[in-house]
Amino acid sequence: MGPPHVQEVPAVTTTPQAVRRASPRTRRPATPVAPDPTTGLLPQAEPVRLLDPDGTPLPPRADLPAPPVETLREMYRRMVVGRRFDAQSTALTKQGRLAVYPSSRGQEACQVGAVLALRDDDWVFPTYRESMALTARGIDPVEVLTLLRGDWHCGYDPTVVRTAPQCTPLATQCVHAAGLAYGESYQGRDTVALAFIGDGATSEGDFHEGLNFAAVFKAPVVYFVQNNKYAISVPLSRQTAAPSLAYKGVGYGVPSEQVDGNDPVAVLAVLTRAVAHARAGHGPYLVEAHTYRMEAHTNADDASRYRDPDEVEAWRDRDPVARLEAYLRSRGELDDAAVAQVAAEAEAYAADLRERMHAQPVVDPLSLFNHVYAEPTPQLVEQREMVRAELAADAEGDA
């Protein structure tokens, strides 16, 4: 018998993986790919920008409708008037008419953009830095500056102008905004609350508690961080190791975006989208605007002790007012006459403010004790009585 017929083993031309795929017995079900839970929550890697620093428009974006040009013209007007108001307020500190003034020069796109993204019946929760936003909202500038003159806790009626008192304790406005927005939606109204906050204040617990509460209860709040690079003398690099402050939203399930805060068109477009998100019932939204504080923290601070003048100069080239003006001029929406008219309006606004702030305020010292609590505490009643007695003794001494 000859040797058994040995069938030649064919050369292996396929990989073991391919064999496994071909064999029904060994085929494994494809591992399901879990959806990325951060989808829609993380900001873009780079801040949104729609205008170059010289005002040249960048390609339009399908996901971000450009604001109407008439709104941009109005934005320009309010930014110019706002800048003049800001300079006048700093001057009033030097004339002894204001105790202190925190300037927002350089942050005009954020101050005015936030106001224009809202309806008049929405609520604003400002910090001490937002005097310009408040006047841009139409609140009388003397009423705005009453707090900084030290005459009264708040010069305007928050319920009438739908604007909370300016907060000096950092980040407390974040929880106030969450509570108000939740209350409004609970009562079936579609009001949105926008809370301003600084870069430094995002380290405060109240910022995190506000975000968390708003996210869990879908409160319609826009948290708007103006990252102006400093918390008094503390630079951002000593404040956070996060890739950007907008990344602080994801941990709470809050969608966020970062935007070039000196690009007025981008600021308005991003905030308009954020407000629409909140109003539609999707809960809070976090926006971080990258901007710069051109002046010192307040008139009482010397920024040259901790800031390189070259850094300040570099930001001067990104001026938001000049940027919007250049853009509107290039579109034929603004000419010399219109620019002069807005400048004249700003001068008249400042002159009126000066005149009224130079008038001696009439303040009742006892009003200091009003509205501190709904019901005054025994200590307040006692202190009020002490002040009253002292005033009476003074009056007797004068007589």
Ligand X SMILES: Cc1ncc(C[n+]2csc(CCOP(=O)(O)OP(=O)(O)O)c2C)c(N)n1
In the complex, the residues that contact ligand X under the rule CB under 6 A are: 129, 168-170, 198-201, 228, 230-232, 293, 297
Are 225 and 202 in contact by the 8 Å Cβ rule? The answer is yes
Please count the other Cβ atoms lying within 10 Å of the Cβ belonging to residue 259.
31
Strands 230-231 and 234-235: antiparallel
* Residue nearer to Mg ion on the CB measure, 227 or 256: 227
- Residues contributing to the site for Mg ion (CB under 5 A): 198-199, 228, 231
Least CB distance to Mg ion at residue 290 (A): 11
Strands 221-227 and 285-290: parallel
Are 156 and 143 in contact by the 8 Å Cβ rule? The answer is yes
* Residue nearer to ligand X on the CB measure, 232 or 387: 232
Task: Provide the sign of the torsion angle of the four alpha carbons 87, 93, 95, 98, taken in this order.
Answer: positive
* Residue nearer to ligand X on the CB measure, 84 or 129: 129
Of the candidates 73, 208, 279, 306, the residue annotated as catalytic is 306
Quote helix, strand, coil % in the chain, to nearest 5: 50, 10, 40
Task: Give 103-139 as a 3 state SS string.
Answer: CCCCCHHHHHHHHHCCCCCCEEECEHHHHHHHHHCCC
Least CB distance to Mg ion at residue 199 (A): 4
* Residue nearer to ligand X on the CB measure, 150 or 169: 169
Question: What DSSP state is assigned to residue 258?
Answer: E
> By beta-carbon distance, which residue lies closest to ligand X?
198
Partner whose footprint covers residue 215, from ligand X, Mg ion, none (CB < 5 to 8 Å by kind): none
Partner whose footprint covers residue 220, from Mg ion, ligand X, none (CB < 5 to 8 Å by kind): none
Least CB distance to ligand X at residue 202 (A): 7
Going by C-alpha positions, the residue among 309, 318, 269 that lies closest to residue 108 is 318
Partner whose footprint covers residue 277, from ligand X, Mg ion, none (CB < 5 to 8 Å by kind): none
Are 114 and 196 in contact by the 8 Å Cβ rule? The answer is yes
Residue 247 is among the residues annotated as catalytic for this protein: no
Of the candidates 97, 290, 297, 323, the residue annotated as catalytic is 297
Of the candidates 273, 293, 318, 323, the residue annotated as catalytic is 293
Partner whose footprint covers residue 80, from Mg ion, ligand X, none (CB < 5 to 8 Å by kind): none
Least CB distance to Mg ion at residue 198 (A): 4
Residue 306 is among the residues annotated as catalytic for this protein: yes
Partner whose footprint covers residue 232, from ligand X, Mg ion, none (CB < 5 to 8 Å by kind): ligand X
Residue 277 is among the residues annotated as catalytic for this protein: no
CA distance 150 to 87: 19
Least CB distance to ligand X at residue 303 (A): 11
Q: What is the DSSP string of 320-364?
A: HHHHHHHHHHHTTS--HHHHHHHHHHHHHHHHHHHHHHHSPP---
* Residue nearer to ligand X on the CB measure, 280 or 300: 300
Are 206 and 196 in contact by the 8 Å Cβ rule? The answer is no
* Residue nearer to ligand X on the CB measure, 170 or 328: 170
Task: Provide the sign of the torsion angle of the four alpha carbons 359, 362, 367, 368, taken in this order.
Answer: positive
Least CB distance to ligand X at residue 196 (A): 9
Q: State the catalytic residues.
A: 293, 297, 306
